[in-house]
Amino acid sequence: MQIDPNFTKFLSRHEIDSLIEKMAQELSKDYEGKDVVFISVLKGAFLFTADLIRHVTFNPEVDFVRLTRHKQSHEKSGTIGIAKDISINLKDKHVLIVEQILDSGRALKFLYNRIKAAEPASVEVATLLDKKNKRVVDVPVKYVGKTIDDHFLVGYGLDLEERCRNFIDLYYLRYPN
């Protein structure tokens, strides 16, 4: 596959796999014997979620949620909504929100509060990549693959105008448009 010359490799597939294996070991230790639901945030986290569930030693349920952001001209953050909601009853289950990349935390905080309202036994967050310096709201993140600087990343589920999700490695855009 031809990669745009403006993309610079950020993480190889091997490096991504190592991060996932390490996180899966920690999750397996923490969740063994529990009734667990992974909530994967679409669209970016679908590959990460698939790889993560292959590496854990327990058998979680998996569901997907898709959030929307409606920007208003006078509002920097916009309004967050749900385009595809959770279809599993979360009451008394241990919920793990699986996100590919975390930056401001606004959307994740919205989802976290939505899930807490469903009365689960617990709610935790796992993210492959954390732009901790971009956080504007407090979100409890327990499992982090790698803390990163503010790069625009594509590949491994992350897109550029709905393309590039299928790259096996992660790239950053060297010269943003």
Residues 49 and 24 sit within 8 Å (Cβ to Cβ): no
Give which of 155, 114, 157 is closest to 4, Cα–Cα: 155
Q: What is the DSSP letter of 164?
A: -
Residue 44 maps to a domain: yes
Residue 107 maps to a domain: yes
Condensed to tens digits (0 to 9), the pLDDT of residues 28-71 reads 999 999 999 999 999 989 999 999 999 999 999 999 998 877 66
Range of the domain at 48: 7-173
Residue 42 maps to a domain: yes
What is the predicted pLDDT for the residue at 1? 62
Sheet of strand 143-147: strand arrangement: 75-84, 61-72, 36-42, 94-102, 122-130, 143-147
Catalytic residue among 103, 138, 149, 159: 103
Residue 1 maps to a domain: no
Condensed to tens digits (0 to 9), the pLDDT of residues 108-158 reads 999 999 999 999 999 999 999 999 999 999 999 999 999 999 989 998 888
Residue 91 maps to a domain: yes
CATH code assigned at 156: 3.40.50.2020
Based on the residue annotation, tell me whether 103 is a catalytic residue of this protein.
yes
Phi then psi for residue 30, to 5 deg, are -75, -30
Residue 64 maps to a domain: yes
- What contacts 35, CB < 8 A, 6 or more positions away? 92, 93, 94, 121
Residue 2 maps to a domain: no
Question: Is the preceding omega at residue 43 within 30 degrees of 0, hence cis?
Answer: yes
Residue with tokens 């790889």: 51
Residues 171 and 155 sit within 8 Å (Cβ to Cβ): yes
**How many independent structural domains does the chain possess?**
1
